[in-house]
Structure formats: structure tokens, C-alpha cells
């Protein structure tokens, strides 16, 4: 297999892993979703950081977020998604950068404008 073909295969695998993870979250199939992430997952978000698959999945089971993917970009083992996330009745446009290693998501960062969530009464000190 040529270097170019290997690169395309890796990119395809990484994208498939991330999309399968998102689909499992959307279906609230948290057991399946957990199979796509590393046990020592590092999640960095706008409002929280979680270390470990269990800590992250505990949050997901409570929040039951829904993702509508708008666009995906792949380079090697890195996958970037633009999506709308339904967070407590608010739809928030977000970007997620997922890093896949050895067939599992090892880390990802999500960025978004948190102001619509803060308007729901989640303001510090309330």
C-alpha cells in the first residue's frame, strides 16, 4: 500500500470512529459510545475538563446531548467537526477537534459561545 493510500485509510478510519461515537451518543447508546473512546480520554470543553472515559460518559448520560453535524474535516488521525448541539433546549453551534489513536478517540476539545447557556440561569453565583 502506498503512503498516500495508507494516509487515506487512516483518515477514513478516524472519521468513521468519530462519527460512530457521535451517532451512539445521539442514540443514547452510551455503552457503544464508550467503546470508541480511550479509557484515559481527555476532554477539554469551554466550561469543563474531564479526564477518563468514565467521568466523561457519566456527564453524557446525564446531559443526553444531540448532535447535528454540519461539516467534517480530516487530516491523518485528527477529525474536526462543525455541529449544532442541542444543550438543554438551546441549539449551540460548536466545533470539536478529535484525536484518534490506536482505533479510539484519545482526546478532544470542543469550543462554542457559552452565552446562550449562561442566559438560562447557569450564571456563576446564582
Give the whole-number percent of the chain exceeding pLDDT 90: 75
Q: Which residues of the chain have pLDDT under 70?
A: 1-10, 120-126
User: Does the model's pTM come out above 0.95?
Assistant: no
- Cα–Cα distances in Å, from 59 out to 45, 50, 54, 83, 102? 12, 9, 9, 19, 24
Domain assignment present for residue 12? The answer is yes
Within a domain: residue 124?
no
* Number of domains the chain contains: 1
The pLDDT of residue 119: 78
Domain assignment present for residue 37? The answer is yes
User: What's the CATH code of the domain at 70?
Assistant: 3.10.450.50
Cα separation, 25 vs 57, in Å, equals 9
- Domain-located, residue 76: yes
Distance CA 84, CA 71 (A): 10
DSSP string over 19-86:
HHHHHHHHTT-HHHHHTTEEEEEEEE-SS-EEESHHHHHHHHHHH--EEEEEEEEEETTEEEEEEEEE
Q: For residue 17, what are the domain limits?
A: 3-118
Amino acid at each position: 500500500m502506498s503512503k498516500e493510500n495508507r494516509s487515506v485509510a487512516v483518515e477514513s478510519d478516524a472519521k468513521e470512529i468519530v462519527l460512530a461515537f457521535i451517532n451512539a451518543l445521539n442514540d443514547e447508546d452510551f455503552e457503544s459510545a464508550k467503546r470508541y473512546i480511550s479509557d484515559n480520554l481527555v476532554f477539554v470543553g469551554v466550561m469543563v475538563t474531564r479526564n477518563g472515559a468514565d467521568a466523561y460518559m457519566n456527564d453524557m448520560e446525564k446531559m443526553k446531548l444531540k448532535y447535528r453535524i454540519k461539516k467534517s474535516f480530516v487530516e491523518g488521525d485528527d477529525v474536526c467537526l462543525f455541529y449544532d448541539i442541542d444543550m438543554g433546549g438551546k441549539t449551540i453551534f460548536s466545533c470539536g477537534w478529535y484525536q484518534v489513536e490506536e482505533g479510539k478517540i484519545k482526546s478532544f476539545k470542543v469550543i462554542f459561545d457559552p452565552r446562550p447557556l449562561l442566559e438560562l440561569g447557569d450564571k456563576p453565583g446564582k
